[in-house]
Amino acid sequence: MMRVAAIDCGTNSVRLLIADITHEDGITRLVDVERLMRVVRLGQGVDATGRLAPEALARTFAAVEEYADLIRDHGAATVRFVATSATRDASNRQEFVDGVRHRLGVEPEVVSGAEEAALSFAGAASVLPPAAGEKILVVDLGGGSTEFVLGGDGGVDAALSVDMGCVRFTERFLHGDPPTPEEVAAAEAEVARQLDTVMLSVPLDATDRVIGVAGTITTVAAHALDLNSYRPDDIDGTELPIGVVEAAASELLGFSRSWRENLPFMHPGRVDVIGAGALIWRCILLRLEAETGGRVRTAVASEHDILDGIALALAEGHR
């Protein structure tokens, strides 16, 4: 057994997983020691300015300092810090890299969209593995980008990362409270365009089962389940009809900001961007149902994602 620390720094949040790695009967498993999230909105304004804002960097560095203390206290043997969409897009990303290295003692890896997709698939498949011959589509809907990964029991077949996320779409399209029909229509048109691009690389019509990961998707699931608090154990692995998910997503999109912030399962850092995320997830599922001729009628929400994939990659590298 070994103890590892994985950090996933996205456009909206920075998350930590400290886990013990076990190997039994040829299967690698993670046992959580700490799993934390801090909403830092690193991607604030990046879509418009191309730069990481000073206040966003300050929030992120504060979270990194907190995580560094926990990693030291728990005695993790190895650490990997992965950064995704916002830092890929920023002209001043070296300032971010230097700040993380100074506080954590490791070099942050600004990974490509393809590697981000592969890590997300590995994390989701580690607890919801495909059956023989089954094709799973993992959708990782983040703040700045969304990853589409199609694979089976032999691994990843096709993957693509596109610039479509809850922070990016909120800043670009959804300015009303709640959004106007015109704003919603413009955002939906852009999702449709992005999905046309995805189809050129990832054959969505080959999907047998879809697993959605990351905070937008699990929050939509919490609303569909009518939870009175955010309970990961109740959300993880939940499989719901697409119609139920679509209805929950539509409600979140149509709520005012004040209504959303009073929902008992809503994280404060998601209040202003959940509408855009819900819109994107709704459009993806309806398109997927159409492309598969109705073969895919349900969607699974998973709490296991790129963070688990990073930790598993650390374990494999150690072995």
Q: How far apart are CA 217 and CA 253, in angstroms?
A: 13
146 shares its domain with 235: yes
> What integer is the mean pLDDT of 62-85?
94
Mean pLDDT of 284-302: 96
181 belongs to a structural domain = yes
Q: For 208-243, what is each residue's pLDDT tens digit?
A: 999 999 899 999 999 999 999 999 999 999 999 999
Among the ranges given (71-75, 81-85, 95-99, 192-196), the one the predictor scored with the smallest mean pLDDT: 81-85
Residue 30: give its domain's CATH number: 3.30.420.40
pLDDT recorded at residue 54: 95
Exposed, middle or buried: residue 83 (CB in 10 Å: 0-12, 13-18, 19+)? Answer: buried
Tens digit of pLDDT for each residue in 142-181? Answer: 988 899 999 998 888 999 989 999 999 999 999 999 999 9
pLDDT, tens digit (0-9, with 9 covering 90-100), for 32-60:
999 999 999 998 888 889 999 999 999 99
- 35 and 58, same domain (yes or no): yes
For 255-275, the pLDDT digits (tens) are 999 999 999 999 998 999 999
pLDDT at res. 317: 61
| pLDDT digits 0-9 by tens, 184-217 | 999 999 999 999 999 999 999 999 999 999 899 9
The pLDDT of residue 43: 87
Q: Helix (H, G, I), strand (E, B), or coil: what is residue 130?
A: coil
Q: What is the percent of the chain with per-residue pLDDT over 70, rounded to a whole number?
A: 98
Q: Clarify whether residues 71 and 192 are in a common domain.
A: no
pLDDT over threshold 70, residue 18:
yes
Instruction: Tell whether 279 and 139 lie within a shared domain.
Output: yes
Cβ atoms of 119 and 306 closer than 8 Å: yes
Instruction: Report the candidate in 161, 159, 154, 195 with the shortest Cα–Cα distance to residue 279.
Output: 195
Its pTM stands at 0.87
Does residue 26 surpass a pLDDT of 80? no
Q: DSSP characters for 30-63?
A: EEEEEEEEEE--TTTTHHHHSS--HHHHHHHHHH
Question: Whole-number mean pLDDT of the chain?
Answer: 92
Question: Which range of residues forms the domain containing residue 80?
Answer: 2-113
The reply to whether 118 falls in a domain is no
- The total domain count for the chain is 2
CA distance 142 to 42: 12
Has residue 319 got a pLDDT over 70? no
Q: In the 8-state DSSP scheme, what is residue 164?
A: -
> Is the residue at 48 inside a domain?
yes
DSSP string, 239-303: EEEHHHHHHHHHHHHHS-HHHHHTSTT--GGGTTTHHHHHHHHHHHHHHHHHHTTTS--EEEEES
Does one domain contain both 264 and 192? yes
Model pLDDT, residue 72? 96
Query: Which of the two residues, 118 and 35, has the higher pLDDT score?
Result: 35
Q: Say whether both 132 and 235 belong to one domain.
A: yes
CATH of the domain at 275: 3.30.420.150
Give the mean model confidence (pLDDT) for residues 95-107.
94
Does 80 share its domain with 204?
Answer: no
Running DSSP on this structure, what letter comes out for residue 106?
S
pLDDT exceeding 90 applies to what percent of the chain? 74
